[in-house]
Amino acid sequence: MGEPQVNQETAVATAREGGLSARMVDWFWRGSALAKARHALPEPGARSVLFAERARASAELAQNTLMASEPGATRNEGSACETYRQSIYWSLCARLAQAQPAFEADGERVWDTLDGALLLEAASSEDRVERLRSALRTGSFVYFADLPAEEQQASLIELRKLSHALLVKLAERSVALDGIYQERAWRLALLAFFALGVALSPAILKKVVEARAELTLGKPWRASSTMVGNGCTSPAQQCAESPNFFFHTLEEASPWVEFDLGTNRKISKVHIDNRADCCSERADPLVIEVSADQKHWRKVSRHDGEFSSWEALFAPVNGRYLRVRLLKQNYLHLVAVHAY
């Protein structure tokens, strides 16, 4: 409502005539795309909006009716069938009002506009199409309540599916425009990020890029053992209850912490921050290992000696799992593990 109506051909032509700068502005602002979407999917009138609201409200009422049903009950399912039927009716009215704002809501005429392809898609089989069509035209609360339980359940599934399909069609315009607005937001954010990158010093920009490329950020991790009451909860590597380390194993032979990157990723650098408040000597010696299947591990780097931070650089390797392992019997506890 209230959106300016822009002719799509005019918008596209204006962008082209304006040269490179105008096309760049249009690419970021998505003006031509918005004009095309508004032309292809005109703004619905007041009656169409009213009918669409009734359709959505009826579908929500049907869903709430089902949620209130007792296990094994059929009475509420019959009520839900009729409420979904009403949702379908109002959706059809909304589509009619969009094409013919002054149309009279006549039941037979409204049902005649139902797309046969949608009906066929909603029906559980071809031989049920006519049965579903008849139920739509003549159904009522009494009609659906008196159906046998099996038929009632089948009708419920079909009516719910058809109601959902029509509501999706009613939302096409808002979904399309929202998608373009999101594209605009992302592109403007990209522009802002680029401008920020130009303004930042190379050292700060490097840190920003590395943070965006970090492979372990938000990824689940597990340790070989856990000292009860110590550490964070996966996937966090920072938490108020454990500021000095994000995990703490028991004393054991070769304790480790392992990350699941979700899929095979190329890894070429790992940065490890050691515990600083005490006991940093425990993390010596350490190895970094990579695996594709959690069975066969490949050592990519090793560190001997006490350290506060260790940045391991190595030739790029592919793997889904990253493991940091201590090569002796002791406790293992680290502040952070960052992979790139």
Secondary structure E strands in the chain: 221-223, 252-253, 256-274, 286-291, 297-303, 309-326, 329-330, 334-339
Q: For residue range 107-130, what is the model confidence (pLDDT) as tens digits?
A: 788 998 898 888 889 998 888 999
Q: What percentage of residues in the chain have a pLDDT greater than 70?
A: 89
Interval 54-77 mean pLDDT:
81
Does residue 285 have a cis peptide bond before it, meaning omega lies within 30 degrees of 0? yes
Band of pLDDT at residue 207, cut at 50, 70 and 90 = low
What confidence score (pLDDT) does residue 1 get?
43
On the question of pLDDT at 259 being above 80, the answer is yes
Q: Which amino acid is at 324?
A: V
C-alpha–C-alpha distance, residues 139 and 136, integer Å: 6
How big is the CA angle at 289 (ends 288 and 293), to the nearest 5 degrees? 155
What confidence score (pLDDT) does residue 193 get?
85
Q: Report pTM.
A: 0.50
Interval 91-106 mean pLDDT:
85
237: phi then psi, degrees, rounded to nearest 5: -115, 0
What confidence score (pLDDT) does residue 147 get?
92
- In the chain, the largest separation of any two C-alpha atoms, in whole Å, equals 85
Interval 160-179 mean pLDDT:
93
Residue 217 has, within 13 A of its CA and on its CB side, a CA count of 7
For the ranges 80-94, 103-117, 311-325, the lowest mean pLDDT is seen at 103-117
Interval 259-288 mean pLDDT:
96
Are the C-beta atoms of residues 87 and 59 closer than 8 Å to each other?
yes
Band of pLDDT at residue 7, cut at 50, 70 and 90 = low
Q: For residue range 209-245, what is the model confidence (pLDDT) as tens digits?
A: 555 679 999 999 999 999 998 999 999 999 999 999 9
Interval 303-316 mean pLDDT:
96
Question: Where do the structural domains in the chain lie, given as residue ranges?
Answer: 46-172, 221-339
C-alpha–C-alpha distance, residues 9 and 150, integer Å: 54
Q: For domain 46-172, is the CATH number 1.20.120? A: yes
Tokens linked to 29: 């602002």
On the question of pLDDT at 3 being above 80, the answer is no
Interval 239-264 mean pLDDT:
96
Residue 41 has, within 13 A of its CA and on its CB side, a CA count of 14
187 CB-contact burial (10 Å; exposed 0-12 / middle 13-18 / buried 19+): middle
What confidence score (pLDDT) does residue 2 get?
45
What confidence score (pLDDT) does residue 206 get?
61
Residue bearing the bigger pLDDT, 73 or 313: 313
On the question of pLDDT at 178 being above 60, the answer is yes
CATH code for residues 221-339 = 2.60.120.260
On the question of pLDDT at 82 being above 70, the answer is yes
Are the C-beta atoms of residues 264 and 307 closer than 8 Å to each other?
no
C-alpha–C-alpha distance, residues 109 and 95, integer Å: 12
Q: What is the mean pLDDT of the chain?
A: 88
